[in-house]
Amino acid sequence: MRKILILFFVLIIAMLQLGIFSNIQILAGKIDLLMLGVIAWIIQKKTEFVDVIIYSIITVFFIYLISAEPVIIILSIYSILVFVVFWSKNNIQQLPIVSMLIFSAFFTFLHLVIFGFYLQLSGITMVAEEVFQSVILPSIFINLIAAIPMYLLVNELHRWVYPLAEEA
Amino acid sequence: MKKFFNSIKSFTVVFIAVGLILLALGGYLSPVLVALTRPFLGAQEWISSRYIAVNQLLNAPQDVDELRVRNIELENEVARLQSQIIILQEQLEESQGLEELLGYARTRPQYQYAAAAVIGKDPSPFLHYIIIDHGSDEGIRRGMPVVTQSGLVGRVDAVTAGAARVQLITDPASIVNVKLQTQAVNAQINGSITGEINLDMVPQDANLEPGEVILTSGLGGNYPMDIIVGQVITVRKFENELFQTATIQPIIDYSQLQAVLVIKNFRPVDTTPLIPDQTE
């Protein structure tokens, strides 16, 4: 039941990202709802590692379906994200909301920098300053705005899903 | 004797009655009748108005409730009709868009088109791709050019059974061979991460000016020729460089794309076997 709910939630998030949130831009920066969803899911207190892995695999699969971004980059970023955020939750995290904000900014930056390098290596000419000003900074900003609502949404969903699992 | 008096009395009464009726029919008794009925009418009016007031007092709450219910019903009806109007307006806009696409398709009968709705955009800020609701089940294949009634959109990059991903010409990895409308000059356009389109490879001797219309040249075999791409806005010409460059104003607002046409009978030419291997 829990896994079906996770699948259903990721599906809704992917549809919202594809249909609505990909159109919302600050300069060239976009919200990455799917990544925010993964971070918000991991930093919840009761989340089990198996569920995190399932959630992340489903997310990567959906991104692979909808985006032209190379799957190797998505897979690398999400692998790093899962392990770093999960480790942080168990060893450092005091306030989940602060973790949410920090990791949202950090992984947006990391994701875009790595993908930017990949594009540069693929032969696409880009000016680093322009990329930073038009894509990376606006994306970090817009993801920070979306991070708190996403955290609250996942928090509510988490409360709803885990008692169900305990009952089952 | 008594009988006689009785008959006189009866006759008098009948005479007076007939006389009164005749006077009344003749209108001679109207002032008298008015004077006589006025007090009664006043009293009747007073009673009637008091009755209506009391009746309203007793029945008013029921009426208010009924009116409230009726008001809610009407408000619901208005809301339903308003939403219906919005749906119809959307359908009208959609049909107008499709009509324009159909008009474009009629002007170029040599191509077979498949009209598709835009259902999403790539989530990556670096990439400029859209998702359309037609896929391999409708005969869409990788590499097919995508247009609208205004001009070139891009080409199909990936296909599933029910959907396809289209690379826009604004994508940084997109390169399209183009020509100038007024001169026999070939060039190419490149997309960028910010969505700008740049014209490149224009020879220094070409007279490139703002306002020049850019069309696809058909070179390279990836796109049909003579599809409008955009217009030159600013020209950058430096004498120490081999080529002129320019910024292009696309003919299409890619953020507002709702429906597109996929050219189904145009198959791109794969020129990779013809390109010499540079490692040899």
DSSP B106-175: HH-TTS-EEEEEEEEE-S-TT--EEEES--GGGT--TT-EEE-SSSEEEEEEEE-SS-EEEEETTSTT-E
β-strands B186-190, B175-180: how paired? antiparallel
Is the per-residue pLDDT at A126 higher than 70? yes
Among B143, B138, B123, B223, smallest CA distance to B178 is for B223
| Residue A129 at interface with chain B, using a CB cutoff of 8 Å | no
Whether residue B124 and residue A135 make contact (CB cut-off 8 A), yes or no, is no
All domains in chain B, ordered by first residue: 2-57 (no CATH), 112-267 (2.40.10.350)
B167 to chain A: closest CA residue = A68
Strand partners, B197: B248
Greater pLDDT, B71 or B64 = B71
Q: Are A83 and A42 in contact (CB under 8 A)?
A: no
Which residues of chain B are within 8 Å of residue A21 when distances are taken between CB atoms?
123
State pLDDT tens for residues B233-278: 999 888 888 899 999 998 888 888 888 999 988 888 777 777 776 5
DSSP B269: P
Q: Are A30 and A22 in contact (CB under 8 A)?
A: yes
Strand partners, B115: B261
Q: What is the distance of C-alpha B123 from the center of its chain?
A: 26
Q: Are B209 and B237 in contact (CB under 8 A)?
A: no
Whether residue B121 and residue A18 make contact (CB cut-off 8 A), yes or no, is yes
| Averaged pLDDT, B25-38 | 79
Q: Are B265 and B116 in contact (CB under 8 A)?
A: no
Domain that holds residue A161: 2-167
Confidence band (pLDDT; 50, 70, 90) for B31?
Answer: confident
Note the pLDDT of residue B111. 84
Nearest by CB: B131 against A66, A116, A126: A66
pTM of the model: 0.74
Note the pLDDT of residue B277. 66
| Averaged pLDDT, B195-199 | 90
Distances (CA, A) of B51 to A49, A77, B47: 80, 84, 6
> For chain A, what's the residue count?
168
| Averaged pLDDT, B210-222 | 89
Supply φ then ψ for residue B241, to 5 degrees: -110, 155
Is the per-residue pLDDT at B56 higher than 70? yes
DSSP B206: S
Question: Cβ contacts of residue B175 below 8 Å, gap of 6+?
Answer: B188, B189, B190
Nearest by CB: A66 against B123, B167, B195: B123
Nearest by CB: A69 against B127, B157, B195: B127
Note the pLDDT of residue B279. 55
Give the integer Cα–Cα distance in Å for B91 and B115. 16
Interface test with B, best of A119, A136, A139 (most B CBs within 10 A): A119
| Averaged pLDDT, B112-116 | 89
Q: Are A103 and A85 in contact (CB under 8 A)?
A: yes
Note the pLDDT of residue A168. 46
Confidence band (pLDDT; 50, 70, 90) for B153?
Answer: very high
> For chain B, what's the residue count?
280
A126 min Cα distance to partner chain B (Å): 8
B168 to chain A: closest CA residue = A68
Whether residue A28 and residue B193 make contact (CB cut-off 8 A), yes or no, is yes
Note the pLDDT of residue B274. 76
Greater pLDDT, A75 or B27 = A75
Q: State chain A's mean pLDDT as an integer.
A: 88
| Averaged pLDDT, B174-203 | 90
Q: State chain B's mean pLDDT as an integer.
A: 85
In this prediction the ipTM stands at: 0.88
Chain A residues 94-123 with CB within 8 Å of chain B: 112, 115-116, 119, 122
Is the per-residue pLDDT at B280 higher than 70? no
Nearest by CB: B124 against A19, A67, A124: A67
B265 min Cα distance to partner chain A (Å): 25
Percent of chain A scored above 70 by pLDDT? 97
Give the type of residue at A26.
I
Q: Are B177 and B188 in contact (CB under 8 A)?
A: yes
Q: What's the first-to-final CA gap in chain B, in angstroms? A: 163
Note the pLDDT of residue B60. 67
Nearest by CB: B172 against A30, A124, A138: A124
Percent of chain B scored above 90 by pLDDT? 29
Question: Number of structural domains, chain A?
Answer: 1
- Lowest mean pLDDT, pick from B86-100, B144-158, B193-207: B86-100
Strand partners, B177: B188
Give the integer Cα–Cα distance in Å for B107 and B110. 9
Whether residue B131 and residue A139 make contact (CB cut-off 8 A), yes or no, is no
Residues A15-46: b if buried by 16+ CB within 10 A, e if exposed: eebbeebbeebbbbbbbbbbbbbbbbbbbbee
Which residues of chain B are within 8 Å of residue A68 when distances are taken between CB atoms?
122, 124, 127, 129, 157-158, 165, 167
Note the pLDDT of residue A148. 93
Which residues of chain B are within 8 Å of residue A33 when distances are taken between CB atoms?
123
Greater pLDDT, B133 or B60 = B133
Q: Are A96 and A151 in contact (CB under 8 A)?
A: yes
Distances (CA, A) of B251 to A42, B64, B113, B169: 45, 60, 20, 11
Note the pLDDT of residue B41. 74
Q: How many of the other CB atoms lie within 10 Å of CB of A59?
A: 23
| Residue A88 at interface with chain B, using a CB cutoff of 8 Å | no
Is the per-residue pLDDT at A62 higher than 80? yes
